[in-house]
Structure 1
């Protein structure tokens, strides 16, 4: 295990509106406010989203299993944001539900908001935490 102690900084409360791209708007906010790291809480709904719902098998690096939704689903998500070479990298795990059907996974693409998503970002300062590509896992990992 690797870890660092930090402190909480600013707290942002945001509304992402119908038709907007959730991940793009979060990136814009992180860049505009110069947020280096943070915790994300998201509640609302998405019209479309592409998410990874797990690995095909327990291999390293994993082969992701993708699912795409386009049927307007309720959303509850929690995640992190750290920077990689100055760019914000989001790790947003969410449950997307409609009726009795629920998908849980990591939203990676196509995150169009339906009606509204409310987002709270708690800034983390002083850790030096970043994301760097890890060849063994095949994706960007938390590092210091």
Structure 2
């Protein structure tokens, strides 16, 4: 395991804009506030969503689209740089009206209502391509 000790810096709470994209708003917030690395938690509801599943054999992301109202039961992720821009690596657990859930890498979702807690780190983290996994990971 590779690791880096970090200190917590600024902390934020935020309300996502109704009708905006969940992940895009996190990335715009990070750019506006100069947040280069952070961890976040979120919850709320979305009007639709696209999640991605990473096939480890194919080294490809496969999308699943949900065009329905969903509860954002849990959303966790981190912010770091990818190709010089803020990237919100976002995973989510969402539920339908009947209580069934699904989860994955959140690519996009139209916000109905959303709240976030963001904790900035005192480190710069830039994602880089990892040959072993085919993913853009932190090179610690």
TM-score, structure 2 normalization: 0.89
Q: What is the deviation of 1:136? A: 3.6
Q: Is 1:51 the equivalent of 2:82? A: no
Map 1:100-119 onto structure 2 (within 5 A): 100-108=99-107, 110-114=108-112, 116-119=113-116
Structure number with higher strand proportion: 1
Verify the 8 A CA contact 2:81 2:127 in the aligned structure 1.
yes
Given that residues 82 and 128 in structure 2 are in contact (C-alpha distance below 8 angstroms), is that contact kept between their aligned partners in structure 1? yes
Work out whether residues 53 and 103 of structure 1, in 8 Å CA contact, stay in contact via their aligned partners in 2. no
Cα RMSD (Å) of the superposition?
A: 1.6
Residue 18 (structure 1) aligns with:
18
Q: Once the 2 structures are TM-superposed, how far is the Cα of residue 46 of structure 1 from its aligned partner?
A: 1.0
Separation (CA, whole Å) in 2 of partners of 1:44 and 1:73:
9
Give 1:11-90 correspondences, 5 Å limit: 11-55=11-55, 58-59=56-57, 62-75=59-72, 76-90=74-88
Q: CA deviation at 1:54?
A: 4.7
Structure-1 separation of matches of 2:36 and 2:19: 27
Which residues of structure 1 form unaligned runs of 5+?
none
TM-score, normalisation: structure 1? 0.87
Unaligned runs of 5+ in 2: none
Displacement of 1:13 in angstroms is: 0.7
Q: Is the 8 A contact 2:50 2:65 kept in 1?
A: yes
Aligned length: 138
Aligned-residue offset at 1:22: 1.2
